[in-house]
Structure 1
């Protein structure tokens, strides 16, 4: 689970064994929008950050992918295939940090057209 603010609303973003990611309004304890769907394995980690002014979440899954989500639209803006991601984070500059069993990797974001490319 990770916490963020989504359009002024305090929110929690949760990972689930059912392959979904959910965004929760912490004031009402209700979900915000539909579950974020795309992973095909249990979601094992989630982190939140702002990315180019967009509230974003990054998730790792047993399906061997890391996804970056636009929390306003609920869509994945990037999908990275990796062999066993364990933990994730986004830096304030939008770089992706991924933890594996005993290693950490930093993926620097390339900026071609103002969007994130990993």
Structure 2
């Protein structure tokens, strides 16, 4: 395994970004997640992603459209999708580009702030009325 996978240890923010950009695939094999920042970061950088179907993963990335999602109880599917990304070549780059476009919309800080402020305003109004 040592000749196939490189463990990088602790990285600065810029080193982490470069590691994402140098990667052929991002893997999120978690069994528990909510809204994994690492998945959003990989998507924003256009890295092809494979992630376990846990927590909020499928609200961030749609299977076959922006990446590959597999059942967390089926690690053999993780291996299948990683191999598939390497076999796809340029098609995997297109999925990474789709992930970048999707994440650019769903992780837009200005839009997310506006949505959050709207929710708080509605809650405050409902509380005052009621």
Pick the TM interval, shorter chain.
under 0.3
TM-score of the superposed pair, with normalisation by structure 2:
0.26
TM-score by length of 1: 0.27
Bigger fraction of residues in strand: 1
- Greater fraction of residues in helix: 2
Q: Which structure's relative contact order is higher, taking Cα pairs within 8 Å and 6+ residues apart?
A: 2
**Greater gyration radius:** 2
